[in-house]
Amino acid sequence: MARTHLFTSESVTMGHPDKVADQVSDGILDAIYATDPQARVAVETLVTTNLCILAGEVTTTADVDYEQAARDVIASIGYTDTNVGFAADTVEVRTHIHKQSPDISQGVTEGAGLHEEQGAGDQGLMFGFACTETPELMPMPMQLANRLVMALASLRESGDLPYLRPDGKSQVTVAYEDNKPAYVHTVVVSTHHAASATLEQIRADLVEKCIRASIPAPLLRDDTIIHINPTGRFVYGGPAADTGLTGRKIIVDTYGGRGHHGGGAFSGKDPSKVDRSASYNCRYIAKNIVAAGLAEACEVQLSYAIGVADPLSICVETFGTGKADEDTLIGLIKDHFPLKPRAIIEHLQLRRPVYRETARHGHFGREGDAFTWERLDKADALRQAAGI
């Protein structure tokens, strides 16, 4: 008899207050990188009713209007109506940004610190994960949850469902049989909406146009549980209803609770911060190992010390699915992947203004020019080197 267990992941829309903050922080990074790709950036954002606060450390030659950059992002998300308590044209924007600490800077600048090479921008541990559950090599609950919020965004921005507003969440529970995804057990969708929309209308529309359009039919059963706006009303939403902060959705940003997380957030940080660049690299490594057929599931950990270029440790876990032992995989990683901060940045082309898009709908399992860490350009070489 098959062993069954349930696993749940959630995602949030671009208009969720924490995601608004993430996108503003990354929008400022992009605005700086548009003219100064060598800048050092660490920007945090807080959003609440009619207020957006920017704070952090920036060292750059770029001349950026931080306030206007924040307003542009807020408008692009869809917060343009003053009646919802948070709108791009009327929100108060306060800016408290200063230069990066020289003590940190010297550890990241080549030849300036104790080591000649560019070192990591901080100490820390980073993880990446991949598995064969979806074509994107992502855990199925996370990928489906992201698809749902992407569908909500598309339905709102296209005007197909004009009563939708930017805030919202999704949640997907997948039933696994003998550790393989079998079907979707439960779906939860909560969406911000105009007062004129009835719950019956919202439920009917989202079942057909969001849930059934996003989740493959074979995964949905007659007894799949569906909750849509389970409180009955979601008219009051966005930053006016709930304060948002950069970096509070780190599990939403990654693998939905599968595998481990080092604790470092991504948004608002330039890639000299290994919280971001090494996490992207860990995903790149894990995904190529799985794509090469060396494992059905793979988690990679790297750790760093501030100012030191080489990782302090490399760990690989394949959860009993590996076609090669973990020492062999570590050897392949050292031979085929960049591991020093400068090499990671150059190989993954991270000094580009591509980050605002990463701050919505997850950083992984995505397509597009920005997502270089999703490439499978190492899979063939790994397969050949492993003799598989």
Region 110-118 average pLDDT: 57
Q: Which domain, by its residues, includes 311?
A: 124-132+276-386
The share of the chain scoring above pLDDT 70, in percent, equals: 95
pLDDT in tens, 374-387: 999 999 999 999 98
User: Is it the case that residue 117 has pLDDT exceeding 80?
Assistant: no
End residue of a domain, out of 207, 235, 263:
235
Q: Whole-prediction pTM value?
A: 0.94
Structural domain count, the chain: 2
Please, which pLDDT band fits residue 55 given cuts at 50, 70 and 90? Answer: very high
CATH code of residue 365: 3.30.300.10
Q: Are strands 51-59 and 92-98 parallel, antiparallel or unpaired?
A: parallel
End residue of a domain, out of 182, 208, 235:
235
The rounded mean pLDDT for the chain is: 94
pLDDT in tens, 93-110: 999 999 866 655 555 555
Region 332-351 average pLDDT: 97
Count of residues in the chain: 388
Contacts of 45 (CB under 8 A, 6+ apart): 20, 21, 22, 24, 25, 52, 53, 54, 55, 70, 244, 245, 246, 268
**Quick one: 149 and 185 in the same domain?**
yes
Measured between alpha carbons, how far is 99 from 42 in angstroms, rounded to an integer? 10
- Residue 167 covered by a domain: yes
- The DSSP bridge partners found for residue 127 are 301
Q: Is 158 helix (H, G, I), strand (E, B) or coil?
A: coil
- Residue 243 covered by a domain: no
- Residue 177 covered by a domain: yes
- Residue 206 covered by a domain: yes
